[in-house]
């Protein structure tokens, strides 16, 4: 397995990251080393083994359908890098 700069670019696009060429090459090498290392998992027989999502067995955590007060408009928008009236403002979204 060899992680190429093209692989790095694809993943960076998915993750919304922008890397310069130096970073791409660095990451390609490092990811290759790390993914090369994790290949060792292929040596483990996991046939019939159920994957674990939660280490502690748990199920059915619910809340009742009861309204709680919201934090309010000003608090919601307090950290907004840009706002417009009651909205979070973002560059134009084209559909």
Partner 1 sequence: MKYQPVIGLEVHVQLLTDTKIFCGCSTKFGAEPNSQTCPVCLGLPGALPVLNKKVVEFAIKAGLSTNCSITPRSIFARKNYFYPDLPKGYQISQFEDPICQWGWLDIKVEGEEPKRIGITRIHMEEDAGKLVHGELSGPGDGSGVDLNRACTPLLEVVSEPDLRSSDEAVVYLKQLHQIVTWLGICDGNMEEGSFRCDANVSVMPVGSDKLGTRAEIKNVNSFKFVKQAIEYEIERQIDLIEDGGTVVQETRLFDPNSGKTRSMRSKEEAHDYRYFPDPDLVPLVISNEWIERSRQELPELPEQRQQRFMADMGLPLCDAEVLIASRSLADYFEAGVTAGGNAKAVGNWVMGEITRALNDSGTSIETCPVSPEQLAELLKLIDNGTISGKIAKTVFDEMWRSGKAPHLIVEEQGLLQVSDSGAIEGIIDEIMAANAGQVEEYRGGKEKVFGFFVGQVMKASKGKANPTVVNELLLNKLKG
Partner 2 sequence: MNIFNMTIHELHNALKGKQISSVEATAAMLERIESVEPQVGSFITVTPEKALVAAESADQRIARGECHLMTGIPMAIKDIFLTEGILTTCGSRILNNFIPPYSAASWEKLRDRGAVLLGKLNQDEFAMGSSNESSAYGTTRNPWDLSRIPGGSSGGSAAAVAASQAIATLGTDTGGSIRQPASHCGCVGLKPTYGRVSRYGVIAYASSLDQVGPLTRDVADCAVMLEAIAGHDPKDSTSVDTPVPNYSATLKNGVKGLKIGLPKEYFIDGLDPDVQVAMDAAIETYRRLGAEFVEISLPHTDYAVATYYLIATAEASSNLARYDGVRFGHRAEADGLLDMYTKSRSEGFGAEVKRRIMLGTYALSSGYYDAYYVKAQKVRTLIMNDFIRAFADVDVMLTPVAPTPAFKIGEKINDPLQMYLSDIFTIPVNLAGTCAMSLPAGFSTTGLPIGLQLIGKPFGEEALLQAGYAFEQATEWHIRKATI
DSSP reduced 3-state for 22: helix
Among 38, 49, 71, 81, contact with partner 1 (rule: CB under 8 A): 71
CB atoms within 10 A of CB 8: 22
**Residues 35-60 as b or e (16 or more Cβ within 10 Å = b):** eeeeeeeeeeeeeeeeeeeeeeeeee
Which of 6, 25, 35, 73 is the binder for partner 2 (CB under 8 A)?
Answer: 35
Site string for partner 1, 31-70 (x = CB under 8 A): ----------------------xx---xxxxxxxxxxx-x
How many residues can be counted in the chain? 95
Q: Is 78 in the site for partner 1 (CB under 8 A)?
A: no
66 near partner 2 (CB under 8 A): no
Q: Tell whether residue 49 is a contact of partner 2 (CB under 8 A).
A: yes
């Amino acid at each position: 397995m060899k992680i190429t700069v093209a692989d790095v670019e694809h993943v960076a696009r998915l993750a919304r990251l922008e890397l310069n060429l130096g970073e791409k090459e660095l990451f390609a090498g490092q990811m290759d080393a790390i993914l090369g290392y994790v290949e060792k998992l292929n040596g483990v027989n996991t046939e019939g083994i159920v994957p674990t999502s939660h280490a502690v067995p748990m199920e059915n955590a619910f809340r009742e359908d009861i309204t709680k007060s919201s934090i309010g408009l000003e608090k919601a928008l307090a950290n907004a890098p840009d706002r417009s009236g009651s909205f979070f403002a973002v560059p134009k979204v084209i559909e």
